[in-house]
Structures are given as C-alpha cells and as structure tokens.
Structure 1
C-alpha cells in the first residue's frame, strides 16, 4: 500500500487515540507498513468488547474485509487451549479480554493473519497473509495535547476532521492538529496544545483555516478574499461584497448592475439581481443550464456527463438495465463477495445475501459467502442450432461457428461453395 493510494475514510477517536478505516487493496504486510509509515501507529488490536463495538460503529456502511493486527507466526500451529489460539498481536503479546473467531478458526498450521468483515458482526477470520483485502484498520495514539470536544446545541453542530483528513465519529477527545467546524456559521477551530484555537490561526498551518488566502503581520493573522468578495462574520470564508452578486459559475462575484444584463441564456432567470438557472435545471460544466430532474430520483448519486445529468452507482453496482435511476449488484469476475448480507437472528452465523443476475450464492466456504458465475452454456442456454454458446460473467453470448458469419438472422458460410446453416 503506497502512501498516496491509501484513503483514510473515517476515524473514531477516544480519550487515548483514534481508530481508522483505510481503504485500499492490500496484503497484511503492506497494511502493517501503511499504519506505521503514514499514521505513526499500528494495525488495530481488539482486546475488549468496547473496542469491538467501536469497530462495529466504524465499519457501519462499509463492505468487504479488513486486516487487523493479529497473526499466527510461521512454523506454529494454532493452540485451541488459548483464547487467541496461539496468534499474537502486531504490538506483541497475546493478552486479551475478548475474541470473536468464526467457526473454522484454528485448523491450519500454515502462517495465517486475521481480518474482520464489515456487515458480519466483524467476525475474526484467518486467511493467508498474502491475500489481497479491501483495506486495513489502524490505530494511533496521541499525548496529553488532545482537546475536549466543543459544546453543541439545537442551533448548531460540530463537524470534526482528523489530522489525516478523514471525518471523525464517536468522539471522546480529539487529536492535536485536527480541525472542528461549527455549523451552520462555518466557524473553524484547530486543536493545539490541548486547546481549541479559533481561525484564523498561523498562516503556515492549513492556510490559517482561511477559505482563500492568509496573511501574517506583526504576529496577527488575517484571511483575505478575491476581488469583489469580502469576509463573512466568521472571518474565514468569503462572500460577495456589497454591490456584487454571485456569478453563474457559483464562485466569482459580479457587479449587481451587470448581473441581469448578462442573464440571457436558455433556462436562465434573474431574481433579485442574481442570475440563476430556473427550477428543474442546474449549471453544467460548460456554463449551460441543464435539466436536473433525474437527480432527485437517483438511488445512489447523480453525475454530469456529456452535457446531461445521469444517475450513477457506487462501487460494485451498476445502473439497472430496467430503470436508469436504480442500481443493481454488479460483478466483473468469476467469483465476487455476496451483496447486502444480513444476519438471520434465528440462525446464528447464517446470513441472507443477494447476488447479481447470472450468479448464484455459494456458502460452501464457511468463512466467506460469495457469488459464483452461472455457466449458461452448460445449463442449456437457448442459442439457435446454427450458433455456438460463449459464457460471459453474468450472462452468455451466441455466435456463428467458425467459417460462418451472421447475415440477417442466419449464419452463412464464408465459403462460396457452401450454403447457410
């Protein structure tokens, strides 16, 4: 896992440190190295029910398998008389108050490492250490310079961003170098030496918290704005100065007198000297107002492509063949992880899962529920007699036999002396 590739998607910070989800395709050794080199920490150790509950919260909404800091050294066999089955923590030792092994743990004497699965109660699963998983769970600690959380009330809430750039949840204390934004006024603070410093702070650190520019003079730090804009009440973000309004690009400001004069494009209207797209339209990349009604129907997300707004899907899904506003599971390999697995309360260790069209659920491996491609050709797919069947991932295709080509609805011989079949 290279430093620039790993993505810290979410942190959970307690009084002593933070737990991080890092998403990238990675084996155990690379995951271990990433936690050390980039977070100055280590792969997570889950020694108590409290830490297990933190992981359940941290992985909520994620999918896939993630390495934790537990490994069976090479040359050793599992010891089923011990709680960790002979495995050792990445930080050393085998002390624990908790375990969450799956039913197959402790049967292999080869070198193994441990992962947890998002959505499966974070069950511990032993795997070959060179397996490529979806990411890793890291943890890093901080000293007494951490800050207490800021007060919240019904009128405003606080958004926390860790020093790694990820959103923080479940806060007890907050690491130094992290920032907090009080909404809805966007008042910024940075945690420094155990205290919250209100922006603008030192310009050398994150531009002083300023939206645009930061200047320092006689140890006084101030935010600056582009021409036509001035600082808002929070002293860090910018808005249009008096006599100016937001331009069509949504970023710059124009003189009020010019706003309506320039508002002449299709589906534009001028309201209170502000030029904007009419209801049901949004500004595209080329500055043209484009119909956006489909965006309110998209199941996952809406993107702007080739001059139009269209629905798009998150990873491992594709836009439905039957409805371009919904998403369906999608697999591009022979075998893939099952989708939307939900535990069955009446049957501990059992799950209901979904597979894409053309795939069938395989539960033969007790440590992993997968979807296997169905070979429609083997299952008597309905190709015409003059054509041969080709299996594809999730479907099949029919083509003419060698020496024949499709003409109309028939396969015709490419040899002039022969007829069609």
Structure 2
C-alpha cells in the first residue's frame, strides 16, 4: 500500500504533540478545534492537518457553524487577515477584527469533503474513541479530519478490538510500518507490515497488541463492571448501559434530548435550541426574522422590526409598515419610469388605501364605519381599524356583538325595539379591532371605476352632438302637408304696402291679357 506524503507528516506531528490535548467536533468538511491559540498557531494547525482556516465568504457553512460552536471567540479567515467569530450565550454570532497575537479559545478548519471520513462501522455494544494526530479528542462529530485515529474496544476490555486511520477512508491496522508504526503497540516488521512483540509476550488476536502470557488464556470469571456498564450476555466482558433507552424519565425538559455516552449519559439541547442558564431555549425563529433582529422576552425569542414597522400578526417572522395617523407615506418599490406615470408599486398597512399622484404615494385610513355595518350598536373609526361600542346596559361580546346585561348578571342577545329612542352609549371603551377592509376597495377596482365613468361621459357627449346635428339639418318643408299653407309674418311699412299693392295689380293685369 502506497500512502501519500502527508501521512508521514502526521506521524511526526503525532510524536511531537501527543501530549497536547483539546476538544474537536466536525460537521461535513468543517471542524471546530477548542484549544487556546493565536492566529499563526491556528493557521499552522489547519495546514498541517491538510486543511485551511475557514473562510466566511458565503452562507454555505452557516448551519454547521451554529451546530458546532460553543460560547467564546474563535479564529477564522475573513476579508481582513486576522478575523474572529464571537459567540455569546444564545444565537448571537458576530465577526470581529482581532490583533493576530491575541490568544483566542480555538479555531475553525475547513477540509475537502473527499478527504474527511464518516464514523467507523462497529458491532453493537462496542465503543469507538477518536483522536486527531494533533492530540484533539473528537467528540459528538458527524465526520472526522484526515489523520484521525479510531480505537474500537469493548467496555471494560483491556485490549482494543481494532485500530483505524482516516486517509479519505478508514484503514485498519496493521497498515504500512512507515505510518504511525503500522498502528502496532510494540514493533512493526517493515518487510511483512505486521506487528511484532518482545519475548515472553504474545500477539493479541487484534494483531496489534502484545499481551502477557497469562492474559492469552481465557478467564472464566465474570468481570467486575464499573458504574455505567454491565456484564455482557456471555459473561466475559462489560458492555455500556444505554440509560436513554432503558429510562424514559430522563431529560424531560423542553428542548432536551438524552445522549448516551461511554458509561454515562448527558441531557443536551436538541437542534435549534441553545442552553441558557441551564435551560434549553428555542432559537430557530431568529434565523428567519425578516429584519434580522431577535430579542428574548420572558424566556422566549421573538423577532423584532425596525422603527416604523411592526411584527405581522399573521406571520411572527415578517414585518409590516406601522401607521398611527389618518395618513402616512406609502412604501414603494423604486422605479423611475413608473413614478413619472404615477403607477409605481406601493404598499400600505392593513386598514389603509394608497393614493398615487404627482410622483408621491400616500396611505389614507379607510373609514370602515361608513363602508359597512360591522357593529351591533355604534362603530368608532380609528387609524388603521375600528372598534365597536355598546350602549349603556349592554356588554360587548366578541368583536361586534352587544348583549344585554340584567340585574342578575345574566346576559342575553339584544332584541331591537320598534319604537323608542336609543339609549346612551356605554362609557367603557372596548378593544381596538383590526381593520376589516371591504373586498371591493382595491387599487385596481378604483382604476376600473374611473375608466368606466370616463367611457360613460364620452358616450353621452357623442349622443348630444349627434342630436344637435340632426336638429340643425331639419327642413320644415318636409313636414308640410299638401293641404296646408305655411305663412310667414313680416313687418309692414308704408313702402312695403305700396310695393305689394303694385305687385298685386300687375299680376291681375297679366291674367286678363
């Protein structure tokens, strides 16, 4: 088997730094190492394990980052050379510039997805311990970085069942003697790549351990198991007690889950929960907040909005415009071409209607009390909504119904009387109701109505013009009956009378001739 050169470097590192200790955890190609280090040491540690400091230039690893990090400050590589991610209690994560010589709580390394390994496949009841070449114990991990050693053993057993090395895939010992001495406990034969033992010791059946001659013979006596373990069915070994499976009353707090460990168990916070003051708190909503603002109120995280907005009652992760007056400016999508035509897309809070004109957009309150009858008794219009008010002797039930109050404290629905004047209004105000906007009050409806009115006016103008033309061309002679003479009146003067008399005499003389 021919292993790559980095494996030889791993061997030297292991011999040099085996005394060091720390904690590591990985998800995908991202690994979190918890050990005090300055920027130079952190960058060197990542390179020596065939990785590099994580670059936070995309949201690709944000999910893994939230799962891995513990409260503290950790090195990574940002736009500036020495950048750190600061994690406080809860879901608050921020980037900070740190002097490179500062010692932080750990660092984040990123590896190629093809170079990391998954968990070692082992039989039921066995325990697997993982340790990196730089001395980190890898715990609660989904993946493992190159050069990780995995030791598989039975609980309480003196010798391991097997040993494995991560080199893109798991290699089981003994492997070539040039790398970690083949994984052997004592010696390695470079010719055959097998483990060797000194005189008076025998090679264990795991092919890597050397045992005393007496230990080579099976011991019939039942082992004494430490706390958290119990004798196996064969009576020759100890196996871990799975407290989480055997007891259902463990880790019953909200957001808690039981995790079985070697010889013990722990109560940990489930995904999307973080531990605060010993309690698991749900933080998943903070990743969905529209304005990226999240605050804890009475132990529960809630989204908050920027000034001028409020959390939508329909969706706790969204923000909507807030207005407490009869009119306020609308929120519009920027579009210069549409603005010149007064056709930009603008939005108003619920209970308001937008009015576009002269390059501006204004939200006006809708008077729900005028448009429809929402209340049994009286309706009071308010900015963005309305409220119902009952007369004296009545009590509001729900949002719009008034019920009569009797002396005995009983209530009954109001029965309207055909006569008599209405009683006075009750002085006790009722709660504000959200605006019930009529379905027909929409911007498109208003535009449609306006177009319809213009068309009607145009049609009326055409009809009037046509009628006037017909009257102007009317000929009275066409209305004359054959037996009816039409006479025209004319003012008679002395000259006119003489002329008419002469014309008449001339006409009579002509007829005689």
TM class, shorter-length: 0.3 to 0.5
TM-score normalised to structure 1 length: 0.40
By percentage of residues, which structure has more strand? 1
Point out which structure has higher relative CO (alpha carbons under 8 A, 6+ apart).
1
TM-score normalised to structure 2 length: 0.34
Give 1 or 2 for the bigger CA radius of gyration: 2
By percentage of residues, which structure has more helix? 2
